[in-house]
Amino acid sequence: MFMKKIIISAIVVTTLILAFNQKSNTQPNYSYKVYTPDNIEGVAKNVVSAQKDSQILFIVDFSNSMNETIGNQTKVDMARATLAEILPKIPQNVKTGLRVYGHRAGFTYLQGCQASTLTVPLAQNNAQAIMGSLYATHATGWTPITYSLKQAVNNDLASVTGKKHIILLTDGGENCDESPCTYVINLMKTRDDIVIDVIAFDVHDIEANNQLKCTALMTSGKFLSADSMEDLSKSLFETVGINKDVRGSIKIPQQ
C-alpha cells in the first residue's frame, strides 16, 4: 500500500511538471523592446465610459503615413471628416481639446520625436476651434505617441480635476524609441483618473497593435481597430459614448 501511494504521487508530480513545461513553451516571447504583457486582458479593469462632466482631449496622428489613401481618400481627410461628424454632438458642458503630433518633420531625430503640440486647449463649445486646427495642420513627420501622452498628462491636463479622458487616433505604433505601454503601466501605479481610448486606424503590424492595445487597456480604456471611414466613425462614437443620431452641425473650414 505504501509503495502504491509513492507511485501515485510520482505520477501526479510528473504530470504537473509536464503540464507546466508545455504551458511555458507555448507562451509568446516578444522580442519587441516595448513591454507587452500577455495577460493584458485579465489585468485591465472594467471599461470606463465617458461621463458628461469629463474632459476629452483628442490626440490625433499627423505623421506622414496619414497621407496614404484608403480607396480614393487619404486617412487624414477621413479623420477630419469623422471628427467633424462627432464634435458638434458632444454635450456642451464637456470640455474638449486637441493635441496633434507628427505635424513637423524636423531636421534631427530629437526634433521629429518632439513634434507634438496642444493646438486647442480644453474648453467648452470647442468644436469649431478643433476643426479649424485640424484643417490647418498637415501630415508630415513621425509618430511620437509616448512623448505626446506625457505632454498631455503633465501639461495639458495638469490643472484639470476629475476624470480625464484621452482619445488617441493613430495609424501606427511608436517609432521614437519609447514605449507608451510601459509609460501607462508606470502612470497607473499612482493615477486612477486618466482613461486612454485608442483607435488604431489601418494598423496591421502585430507589435504596434500590441503596444497600442496595452496603452488603452492598462488605463481601463477601449482599444478599437478601424480599417475604413465607417469603422472610424463607429469607433469615435463608441469612445465618446454618445448617440450617433443626435443632431449637430459644424462649419468646415475652406482649404
Residue 153 Cα distances to 148, 166, 196, 224, angstroms: 9, 9, 11, 22
Distances (CA, A) of 156 to 49, 102, 125, 148, 153: 21, 18, 17, 10, 6
**What percentage of the chain has pLDDT greater than the value 70?**
73
The answer to whether position 150 is within a domain reads yes
Question: Band of the pLDDT at 244, cuts 50, 70, 90?
Answer: low
**154 within a domain of the structure (yes/no):** yes
The string of pLDDT tens digits covering residues 166-179 is 999 999 999 898 99
Q: How many domains does the chain have?
A: 1
Percent of the chain at pLDDT above 90? Answer: 65
Task: Calculate mean pLDDT across residues 226-254.
Answer: 77
Domain assignment of residue 163, given as a range: 45-240
Please say if the pLDDT value at position 47 is more than 50: no
Q: Which pLDDT tens digit goes with each residue over 86-140?
A: 999 998 889 999 999 999 886 677 788 999 999 999 999 999 999 999 999 999 9
Query: Which CATH number does the domain housing residue 224 bear?
Result: 3.40.50.410
Q: Provide mean pLDDT across the span 178-187.
A: 96
Taking residues 190-214, report their average pLDDT: 96
Assigned domain for 55 exists: yes
Q: How confident is the model at residue 44 (pLDDT cuts 50, 70, 90)?
A: very low
pLDDT of residue 242: 73
- Domain for residue 186, yes or no? yes
> Cell numbers at residue 153, please?
498628462
Q: Is residue 170 part of a domain?
A: yes
Does residue 225 fall inside a structural domain?
A: yes
- Confidence tier at 12 by pLDDT (50, 70, 90): very low
CA atoms within 13 A on the CB side of 107: 0
How does pLDDT run across 100-115, given as a tens digit for each residue?
999 988 667 778 899 9
* Residue 4 belongs to a domain: no
Does the residue 124 lie in any domain? yes
User: Cα dist. 29→24, 26, 120, 186, 191 in Å?
Assistant: 10, 9, 41, 22, 29
* pLDDT per position as a tens digit, 60-80: 999 999 999 999 999 999 999
